[in-house]
Amino acid sequence: MKPQICVVGSVNMDLVFRTPRMPAVGETLHGHEFRQIPGGKGANQAVAAARQGADVRFIGAVGDDGFGDFSQQSLSSDGITLTHLSRIPGVATGVAGILVEDNGSNSIVLAAGANASLTPAHIDAAASDIRNAQILLCQLETPLDTVTHAIATAHAAGVKVILNPAPAQDLSPALLAQVDYLILNETEAAQLSGVLVTDTVSAQAASEKLLAMGVGQVLLTMGGHGAQITQAGQSQFIPAIRVDVVDTTAAGDTFVGAFAVGIANGLSLLEASQEAQYTAALTVTKLGAQTSIPKRAEVVAFMAARTA
């Protein structure tokens, strides 16, 4: 049986520019190339989970435009069930403008488009998919009241909840108390916990404060340094897997999707985190969001080569 994962989240079309550096205010800068690549945190995480072998059901919204058509076809090609991917008339599909520097760093500007039209009513229409899943996976590129309703639906049904609170915003203790696994970066951890994260010591302090706020377990990702994983009475730092970086876009999303599959497959917190690290490391060796997310066979071969 494939692990059953339900994703509530965003769908964007990524407009990706390669550039030697970030332009200054008022500056016109010649880039190297341009690509149009399917993205959005929700869609990326759904694709990552599907490529790691999960049966994924997606709840989201796109516009009635060409980007919506393209995104729907792309998600379908990965075997993701799209019964509850809504087409919103008269609204554009979400778009992300992404500048990728030669060193792999990126900056992103979002226009939510149809993602902002996802409502609690859409969650109610898809409630059976949430209740029948092993894991509900959410982010914050769709309205917070919709995400809150989805998490409450899953929690009431005993379904494990993974929340990636990105983009960062304040969240209530009542919501956090329903989250089994909180996966976030340094910026998001600082906003939620009030602890500035600069190293492993501060990462652990922030994680412990989030546990005290009701979160079940915390995974604090620290980019190329690694990840701090914390649960009641136990904390461990996992170093990053060293690779040649081409583009960091979707690395975090790939980590989240792969981690969800590991947990659904019965792996421990540490084991699922380690597999997610390897999966994310492969992602940064390629350009783009969904175009860079590896399949399970690639990850297995990569782990075998690095641990031999």
4-22+31-307: CATH, from 3.40.1190.20, 3.50.50.60, 1.10.3470.10, 3.40.50.720: 3.40.1190.20
Rounded-to-integer distance, Cα 135 and Cα 129, Å? 10
Handedness of CA 169, 174, 178, 180 (dihedral sign): positive
pLDDT tens by residue, 70-125: 999 999 999 999 999 999 999 999 998 989 888 878 888 889 999 999 999 999 99
Catalytic (active-site) positions: 253
- Structure tokens belonging to residue 177: 């108390």
Cβ-count burial of 188 within 10 angstroms (0-12 exposed, 13-18 middle, 19+ buried)? buried
> 143 by DSSP, 3-state: which?
coil
pLDDT tens by residue, 11-65: 999 898 889 998 889 999 898 889 898 889 999 999 999 999 999 999 999 999 9
pLDDT tens by residue, 175-218: 999 999 999 999 999 999 999 999 999 999 999 999 999 999 99
pTM, two decimal places = 0.92
Binding site, annotated residues for substrate: 12-14, 40-44, 141, 253
Rounded-to-integer distance, Cα 49 and Cα 15, Å? 23
Handedness of CA 240, 241, 246, 248 (dihedral sign): negative
Whether residue 180 contacts residue 160, with contact meaning beta carbons closer than 8 Å, is answered with yes
Binding site, annotated residues: 12-14, 40-44, 141, 185, 221-226, 247, 249, 252-253, 283, 286, 288, 292
Binding site, annotated residues for K(+): 247, 249, 283, 286, 288, 292
Binding site, annotated residues for ATP: 185, 221-226, 252-253
> 94 by DSSP, 3-state: which?
strand
The whole-number pLDDT of residue 172 equals 94
Rounded-to-integer distance, Cα 196 and Cα 181, Å? 21
DSSP sequence for 57-89: EEEEEEESSHHHHHHHHHHHHTT-EEEEEEEET
For the chain, give every domain's residue range: 4-22+31-307
* Amino acid residing at 214: G
DSSP alpha helix (H) spans, the chain: 41-51, 66-77, 120-125, 127-131, 144-156, 173-176, 186-193, 200-212, 251-264, 269-283, 296-307
